[in-house]
């Protein structure tokens, strides 16, 4: 199912949580709603499912205007950070619960529970209680419960935040697999850019209730429309330098109106004719190194392949900038080049 969000605003008293938000979510996509804590992600998600009424604007599922429909008439599956399983029910009963509410017959209920439990890989846990499950298993059950009624839209609000780093990686791949196998349009909320980049087809990047940029993950990374996007995506993050400093050395590339230059760590390259930089710290990253160094009087992080193992803190290297991954911005943070 396609979703169209048309100029949606939500205010709580004097707080504008979501402001004039418009976006189209493509059928079958996994879309990440990404942005710092407090930017309005959960509010927007809850307006999609109908728990929070919109202050202004409209929401369409395919061509149907659902703005005023209550949650139970929107056929949506929800997964939350804290799993929210019923502790006194077994896994099977938890998963079956939405079907009971819909008064689905017992035989069909059982078949559907078994089918979805297999898909989500909890079919061996059906008789257990939530307290007998690990965090990752609980979240699988929560996903099964959200999917059992074959929702036309799956909404997930920071579903992996309570899991440890290793389980988080595993569950990312699992959510991706389940989403691909079912083809259900999914909105996944996260504040973690790495998670968003690794899991989604496309990203809606928010700040202060506003949609700042939307597009495929790589589009946002390669072509950020403002300084906020350039800085928010990428790890280590892009280095931010005053344009005046970089201008002296790279004059032909920096526009005179630019105030800030953002340089991605991978945009640095070793170059005997480059600018001298002094190494402060080296950390290993697979075959490359993350080199923290003083460059034009600023501390920056570069991803380099040093090769020379004698290089250490205090060593001098020469670097220049590649074409890709260097962006300039005006004083309002708007992209110039
Ligand atoms: N029920 C509410 N009453 C008042 N303010 C709220 C309410 N819910 C959210 N907000 C405010 O709206 C903004 C967005 O919140 P939220 O959507 O939860 O952000 P996020 O999920 O991105 O962390 C925040 O400033 C938050 O304090
Ligand atoms: Mg939230």
pLDDT digits 0-9 by tens, 158-203: 999 989 999 999 999 999 999 999 999 999 999 999 999 999 999 9
Query: Sheet containing 239-242: which strands, arranged edge to edge?
Result: 239-242, 260-263, 326-329
Name residue, tokens 């201008």. Answer: 247
Q: Which of the four pLDDT bands, split at 50, 70 and 90, describes residue 258?
A: confident
pLDDT at 248: 61
Mean pLDDT of 267-291: 94
237 Cβ below 6 A of ligand 1: no
Say yes or no to pLDDT of 297 above 90. yes
What backbone phi and psi angles, to 5 degrees, belong to 152?
-85, -10
Q: Which two tokens stand for residue 257?
A: 């109106």
How many angstroms separate the alpha carbon of residue 177 from the centre of ligand 2?
24
14 Cβ below 6 A of ligand 1: no
- pLDDT above 70 covers a percentage of the chain that reads 97
pLDDT at 253: 64
Q: In this structure, which ligand is nearest to the CA of 36? A: 1
Residue nearest to atom 24 of ligand 1 (CA): 38
d(CA 292, CA 294): 7
pLDDT at 317: 96
d(CA 7, CA 125): 44
Mean pLDDT of 116-132: 96
Please provide the DSSP assignment of 71-96 as one string.
GGGS-EEEE-TT----TTS-HHHHHH
d(CA 200, CA 205): 12
Residue nearest to atom 25 of ligand 1 (CA): 38
- pLDDT above 90 covers a percentage of the chain that reads 88
Say yes or no to pLDDT of 286 above 90. no
53 Cβ below 6 A of ligand 1: no
Mean pLDDT of 269-294: 94
Q: Which two tokens stand for residue 72?
A: 């139970």
* Burial class (CB within 10 angstroms; exposed 0-12, middle 13-18, buried 19+) of 253: middle
How many angstroms separate the alpha carbon of residue 62 from the centre of ligand 2?
26
Say yes or no to pLDDT of 28 above 90. yes
pLDDT at 308: 79
H or E segment and range at residue 195: helix 193-199
Please say whether the beta carbons of 152 and 3 come within 8 A. Answer: no
Q: In this structure, which ligand is nearest to the CA of 81? A: 2
Residue nearest to atom 1 of ligand 1 (CA): 12
Q: What is the pLDDT of residues 56-77, one digit of tens each?
A: 999 999 999 999 999 999 999 9
Looking only at the bridges linking them, the beta strands covering 153-157 and 185-190 are parallel
Indicate the pTM of the whole model: 0.93
Task: Give the SS3 label for residue 27.
Answer: coil
Residue nearest to atom 26 of ligand 1 (CA): 38
How many angstroms separate the alpha carbon of residue 43 from the centre of ligand 2?
7
How many angstroms separate the alpha carbon of residue 312 from the centre of ligand 1?
46
38 Cβ below 6 A of ligand 1: yes
d(CA 115, CA 95): 11
Task: Give the SS3 label for residue 289.
Answer: strand
pLDDT at 206: 98
């Amino acid at each position: 199912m396609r979703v169209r969000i048309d100029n949606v605003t939500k205010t709580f008293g004097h707080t504008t949580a979501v402001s004039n938000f418009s976006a189209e979510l493509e059928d079958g996509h996994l879309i990440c709603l990404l942005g710092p804590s407090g930017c309005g992600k959960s509010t927007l998600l809850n307006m999609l499912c109908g728990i929070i009424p919109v202050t202004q604007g409209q929401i369409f599922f395919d061509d149907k205007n659902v703005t005023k429909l209550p949650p139970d008439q929107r056929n949506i599956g929800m997964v939350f950070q804290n799993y929210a399983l019923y502790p006194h029910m077994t896994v099977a009963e938890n998963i079956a619960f939405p079907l009971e509410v819909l008064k689905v017959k017992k035989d069909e209920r059982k078949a559907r529970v078994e089918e979805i439990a297999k898909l989500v890989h909890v079919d061996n846990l059906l008789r257990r209680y939530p307290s007998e499950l690990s965090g990752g298993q609980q979240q699988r059950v929560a996903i099964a419960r959200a999917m059992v009624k074959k929702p036309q839209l799956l909404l997930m609000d920071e579903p992996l935040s309570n899991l440890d780093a290793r389980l988080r990686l595993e569950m990312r791949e699992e959510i991706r697999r389940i989403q691909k196998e079912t083809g259900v349009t999914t909105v996944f909320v996260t504040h973690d850019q790495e998670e968003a980049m690794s899991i989604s087809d496309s990203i809606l990047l928010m700040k202060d209730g506003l949609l700042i940029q939307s597009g495929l993950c790589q589009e946002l990374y390669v072509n950020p429309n403002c300084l906020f996007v350039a800085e928010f995506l990428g790890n280590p993050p892009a280095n931010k330098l005053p344009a005046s400093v970089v201008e002296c050395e790279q004059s032909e590339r920096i526009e005179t109106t630019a105030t800030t230059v953002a340089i991605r760590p991978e945009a640095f390259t070793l170059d005997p004719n480059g600018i001298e930089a002094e190494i402060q710290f080296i950390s290993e990253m697979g075959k490359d190194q993350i080199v923290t160094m003083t460059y034009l009087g600023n501390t920056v992080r570069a991803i380099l392949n040093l090769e020379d193992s004698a290089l250490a803190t205090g060593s001098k290297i020469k670097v220049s900038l590649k074409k890709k991954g260097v962006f300039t911005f005006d004083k309002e943070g708007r992209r110039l080049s």
